[in-house]
């Protein structure tokens, strides 16, 4: 049971992109199907990115199920879910599967609907915390908001800040005590910095009350396009060879994209927090044994 919340304090530095990439790159085991939960009160983007039709499964259904949890967290699984995976993870029941396999509990793009669902979820986060691995896109976690309340139910909170934006640096500085109080509640809190930051990790930590810098996310239009569902790897052998020759990269792999590589490293770091020092491979073996 791992809940990793990804949020910003202001601006739009790429929270949805990072949360999506982390969920997609999460080291999954036999019983661990990572799911992206879009809990942004200002409305979801993933459905629009991937052209998903609004259906019964999503943040609204998760919030509704959270309001009236049946013992054991059971409710009718969405039609696309296999009974076995759905019965093990109450969050997965409300997820759709994106091309490529990522499960997502998508938020409605309407901020009124999304806001109501996030408020309900913040009041009743039990189902969310029963999921196996949920990466939660909280969007902008304004202190006092439902999104900020959700952070308290996470095991780990990643705060994304854009370097070089003076107002973001100032917001981070003034919010440092609130983030510190999250740590007192047992939430691990760390920073991910986008853009070019001229300060060292320890300099950043000094002005943020000791928050560690967990990741530096590069600007990467190709990786961001992939996350938005726009990247189509070359299929024909001739194109693949040309891509390899041009870039000296494996056209099938994705980690040559700096954003994907950084998101994967951050996902592995967050996974390790709960891994009690076990490597992903060893945990997979334990999961198989437990299954």
User: For 83, how many CA atoms within 13 A lie in the half-sphere containing its CB?
Assistant: 0
Q: Does the CA dihedral 112-116-117-122 come out positive or negative?
A: positive
* Of residues 88 and 249, the one with the C-beta less far from ligand ADP: 249
Q: What burial letters (b/e) apply to 37-46, b meaning 16+ CB within 10 Å?
A: bbbbbbbbbb
Nearest approach, Cβ of residue 50 and Mg ion (Å): 14
Query: 252: buried, middle or exposed (CB in 10 Å: 19+, 13-18, 0-12)?
Result: exposed
Alpha-carbon span 1 to 274, nearest angstrom: 9
Cα dihedral value 137, 15, 279, 213, nearest 10? -130
17's contact among ligand ADP, Mg ion, none, with CB below 5 to 8 A by partner kind, is ligand ADP
By the rule CB under 6 A, 271 interacts with ligand ADP: no
Residue in this structure with the two tokens 């001739």, named with its chain if needed: 238
Binding mask 189-208 for ligand ADP (x = CB under 6 A): -----x--------------
Q: Using the minimum distance from each CB to ligand ADP, give the nearer residue, 65 or 270.
A: 270
If contact means CB under 5 to 8 A according to the sort of partner, which of ligand ADP, Mg ion, none does residue 271 touch? none
d(CA 10, CA 128): 25
Exposed / middle / buried, residue 253 (Cβ in 10 Å: 0-12, 13-18, 19+): exposed
The nearer residue to ligand ADP, 2 or 194, going by C-beta atoms, is 194
**Closest distance between ligand ADP and the C-beta of residue 224, in Å?**
3
In the complex, residue closest to ligand ADP by CB: 14
Nearest-5° angle of CA 137, CA 162, CA 52? 30
Task: Name the one range near ligand ADP by CB under 6 A: 60-68, 105-113, 149-157, 216-224.
Answer: 216-224
What's the min distance (Å) between Cβ of 184 and ligand ADP?
Answer: 26
Beta-carbon count within 10 A of 82 CB: 9
Q: Compute φ and ψ for 135, nearest 5 degrees.
A: -100, 115
Print burial letters for 113-146: b (CB count within 10 Å at least 16), e (below 16).
bbbbbbbbbbebbebbebbbbbbbbbbbbbbebb
Q: Choose the binding region for ligand ADP from 12-20, 75-83, 102-110, 163-171 (rule: CB under 6 A).
A: 12-20
By C-beta, is 59 or 65 nearer to Mg ion? Answer: 59
Selected binder of Mg ion within 5, 13, 14, 16 (CB under 5 A): 16
137 vs 271 by CB, closer to Mg ion:
137
Contact set for ligand ADP, span 13-72 (CB under 6 A): 13-17, 45
CB of 147 to ligand ADP, least distance (A): 12
Residues numbered 226-255 forming contacts with ligand ADP, rule: CB under 6 A: 228
Where do contacts with Mg ion occur on this chain (CB under 5 A)?
A: 15-16
Where do contacts with ligand ADP occur on this chain (CB under 6 A)?
A: 8, 12-17, 45, 194, 217, 219-221, 224, 228, 259
């Amino acid at each position: 049971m791992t809940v990793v919340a990804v949020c910003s304090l202001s601006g739009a530095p790429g929270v949805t992109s990072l949360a999506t990439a982390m969920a997609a790159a999460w080291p999954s085991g036999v019983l661990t199907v990572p799911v992206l939960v879009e809990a942004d009160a200002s409305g979801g983007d993933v459905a629009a990115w991937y052209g998903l039709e609004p259906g019964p499964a999503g943040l609204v259904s998760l919030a509704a199920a959270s309001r009236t949890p049946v013992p054991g967290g059971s409710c009718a699984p969405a039609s696309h879910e296999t009974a076995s995976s759905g019965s093990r993870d109450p969050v997965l029941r409300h997820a759709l599967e994106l091309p490529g396999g990522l499960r997502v509990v998508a938020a409605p793009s309407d901020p009124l609907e999304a806001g109501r669902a996030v408020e309900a979820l913040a009041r009743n986060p039990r189902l969310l915390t029963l999921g196996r691995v949920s990466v939660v896109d909280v969007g902008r976690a304004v202190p006092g908001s439902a999104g900020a309340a959700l952070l308290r139910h996470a095991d780990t909170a990643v705060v994304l800040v854009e370097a070089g934006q003076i107002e973001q640096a100032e917001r981070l500085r003034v919010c440092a005590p609130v983030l510190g109080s999250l740590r007192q509640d047992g939430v691990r809190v760390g920073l991910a910095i986008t853009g070019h930051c001229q300060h060292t990790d320890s300099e950043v930590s000094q002005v943020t009350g000791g928050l560690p810098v967990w990741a530096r996310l590069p600007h990467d239009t190709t990786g961001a396009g992939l996350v938005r569902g726009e990247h189509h790897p070359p299929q024909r052998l001739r194109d693949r060879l040309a891509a390899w020759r041009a870039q000296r990269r494996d056209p099938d792999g994705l980690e040559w994209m700096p954003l994907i590589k950084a998101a994967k490293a951050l996902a592995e770091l967050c996974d390790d927090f709960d891994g009690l020092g076990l490597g992903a491979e060893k945990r997979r073996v334990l999961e198989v044994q437990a299954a």
